[in-house]
């Protein structure tokens, strides 16, 4: 009797990401992932019982990778103050790689359309925001910096706008400046009602 072939689940998830990037999460199928990974459909279904389970596995891995990437960058920072938000800023210093934009765009669509996936994103964001607020010398400034950073990333990942490199670098430095500011609340502009 021959040895059982061991399927590399990371390779299956890599294949699923490629399918998502190329065809979109809505068009991801177990058959397409199996073809892309060079395995049979049963091998994919063994660990991922459905298309939905496969999409969830891709999203879960993306969250784990993103959180691990930020934790690694935080460890590299010389100054431990405001580490959570400054790590995120340092990570965003380079624009997202072109090959990842399509995956991010298509996974974002899946997150928007699926309440369960959206809850995972909400939990991940809530944990990130709590950590930034709890570890910052100016919690409000750090939160504003994080919101500005996420806005910049949103524009880039969803391919809505891309700043010239010089302008983007300046924006990242200015977002970093926000971390230690002490914002003051001011009244909103008055709107005339007729």
Cα distances (Å, whole numbers) of residue 26 to 29, 59, 112, 183: 8, 14, 12, 42
Number of domains in the chain: 1
- pLDDT of 4 > 80? The answer is no
In a domain, 19, yes or no: no
- The count of C-alpha atoms lying within 13 angstroms of the C-alpha of 162, restricted to the half-sphere facing its C-beta, is 11
**Max mean pLDDT range (19-28, 73-82, 112-121, 164-173):** 164-173
The model's pTM is 0.83
* Terminal-to-terminal C-alpha distance of the chain: 85
In a domain, 174, yes or no: yes
| Percentage with pLDDT > 70 across the chain | 96
Q: What integer pLDDT is reported at residue 55 of this predicted model?
A: 87
In a domain, 115, yes or no: yes
Contact 128, 69 (CB under 8 A): no
In a domain, 11, yes or no: no
The residue with greater pLDDT, 110 or 189, is 189
Q: Which of 108, 106, 172 is nearest to 145 (CA)?
A: 172
DSSP one-letter string for 114-137: -HHHHHHHHHHHHHHHHHHHHT-S
- Could you report the per-residue pLDDT of 121-152, keeping only the tens digit for each? 999 999 999 999 999 999 999 999 999 999 99
Name the residue range of residue 95's domain.
59-178
Question: Cα 93 vs. chain centroid, distance in angstroms?
Answer: 15
Question: What integer best gives the mean pLDDT of the chain?
Answer: 89
- Could you report the per-residue pLDDT of 81-114, keeping only the tens digit for each? 999 999 999 999 988 787 777 788 888 878 888 8
CA-based max dimension of the chain: 85
């Amino acid at each position: 009797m021959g040895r059982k072939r061991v399927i590399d689940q990371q390779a299956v998830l890599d294949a699923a990401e490629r399918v998502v990037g190329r065809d979109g999460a809505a068009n991801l199928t177990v058959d397409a992932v199996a073809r892309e990974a060079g395995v049979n459909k049963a091998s994919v279904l063994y660990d991922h019982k459905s298309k939905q389970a496969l999409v969830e596995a891709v999203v879960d891995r993306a969250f784990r990778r993103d959180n691990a990437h930020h934790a690694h960058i935080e460890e590299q920072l010389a100054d431990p103050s405001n580490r959570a938000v400054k790590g995120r800023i340092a990570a965003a210093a380079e624009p997202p790689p072109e090959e990842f934009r399509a995956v991010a765009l298509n996974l974002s669509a899946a997150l928007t359309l699926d309440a369960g996936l959206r809850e995972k994103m909400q939990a991940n964001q809530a944990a990130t925001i709590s950590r930034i607020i709890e570890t910052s010398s100016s919690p409000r400034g750090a939160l504003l910096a994080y919101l500005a950073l996420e806005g910049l990333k949103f524009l880039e990942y969803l391919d809505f706008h891309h700043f010239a490199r010089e302008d983007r670098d300046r924006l990242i430095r200015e977002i970093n400046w926000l971390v230690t500011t002490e914002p003051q609340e001011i009244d909103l502009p008055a709107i005339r009602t007729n």
